[in-house]
Structure 1
Amino acid sequence: MSTATLPAYSLGRKIYHHTYRLGKAIALIIMLWGCTAPGFNASNVVWKTYTNNRYRFEFPYPSNWNALPPPDNGDGIAFVSPQKNSVIIRSWAGNRLPEAVSPEAKVTVNPNFKTAQGIPGVMVVEVGQQGSSMTLTITQGQVKYYWQGRSDSQDFTDYYRLFYYIAQQYKVL
């Protein structure tokens, strides 16, 4: 390598590293800005309430969302956004097996979420390359309740606050 090409190589490398750092800084600023954006305003939405009579739970959903055909066993429901059919909210429940029958090891998960009703649960947010979801799991006695909001990953920030609000309003009757 000649001394004439060394400065050009160093300059190109410096530009690359500065551009890379700047890109990371911009990504961090965008993520932090999303965390501080104004909150979701539930009063701007017309709501309906889904009530499950078999497992005795309910949650609100936007009135213009379309219900998918429910399963025959009556364990839950799913609603699809009228703007994007890849945006879905769903909820279902099921009876847990008694511990004596269940062969898997007992796993204890500490609640990290509480509904407006005061019921503790576990909230898991998964962000993937294609799809992202927010899932709330509540265990009451022998029943396990699930609520989930799901969208394409590029739309998840647009629906995060809506999903979170609905999860907060989830009730066990």
Structure 2
Amino acid sequence: MATANKTCSLGRIIYRFAASLSRVIALLIILWGCTANDFNAGAIAWKTYSNSRYGFEFPYPSNWTSLAVPTNDDGIAFISPQDNTVEIRGWASQYLPNDQETGKKLKSNFKTAQGVSGVMVVEVDQRVGSMTLTLTQSQVKYYWQGRSKSQEFPEYYRLFYYIAQQYRILKF
């Protein structure tokens, strides 16, 4: 009986490892086809969202619809006219330099066209794919995010990447 339990436990471990490995491989395959270099921004009519409270801005396609602006005016979200599950959002918040979060500081891996360095995290699971940019300047954390269904994420990756590159901090 003990041998059967060990075999089942080993089988579960192997299954979990294989499932995790298959997710990583799927993500790599998705991102392998996603390069931002051939994105044609000129083919899109753009508007610019500007946030006066925190002093940031980013472009968005002019035919996207904004969701209700929060009463604290910390940011905004836009949804695609083709699919309301596809969204881009930008927001900011004050932070204290000795926050616990600073202990988990990730190494910068992204630079905006303005020259501001930050952290870009791309996550794709079975349901949702997202690209999240975090920038920190003068006790303010700036965030930008693009999200879509995971199976559509490769279609939006170039758009999301372009917008993240164009994100600007006005008080820089």
Q: TM-score range by the shorter chain?
A: 0.7 to 0.9
Query: Are 1:125 and 2:127 matched, yes or no?
Result: no
The TM-score with structure 1 as length reference comes to 0.77
Give RMSD over aligned pairs: 2.3
Flag the structure with larger Rg.
1
- Residue 107 (structure 1) shift: 2.7
Quick one: distance in 1 between partners of 2:111 and 2:142?
14
Equivalent residue for 1:136?
133
Stretches of structure 2 lacking an aligned partner (at least 5 in a row): 1-25
Matched with 1:167 is 164
Shift of 1:167: 0.1
User: SS of the counterpart of 2:38?
Assistant: coil
Question: What displacement does 1:98 show?
Answer: 4.1
Q: Choose between structure 1 and 2 for higher RCO, CA contacts under 8 A separated by at least 6 residues.
A: 2
* Structure 2 contact 56–169 (Cα < 8 Å) conserved: yes
Q: Mark the CA change 1:98 to 1:153 in structure 2 (over 3 Å): closer, same or farther.
A: same
| Aligned CA distance change for structure 1 residues 53 and 34 (closer, same or farther; 3 Å) | same
Which letter maps to 1:159?
Y
**Inter-partner Cα distance in structure 1 for 2:128 and 2:30:** 18
5 Å-filtered alignment, 1:1-173, equals 31=30, 34-35=33-34, 39-99=38-98, 102=99, 106-173=103-170
Q: 1:38 to 1:91 in 2, by over 3 A?
A: closer
Q: 2: CA distance between counterparts of 1:33 and 1:97?
A: 38
Q: Unaligned 5+ residue runs, structure 1?
A: 1-26
Measured at CA, do residues 37 and 116 of structure 1 come closer, stay the same or move farther in structure 2, by a change above 3 Å? closer
- Give the number of equivalent residue pairs: 145
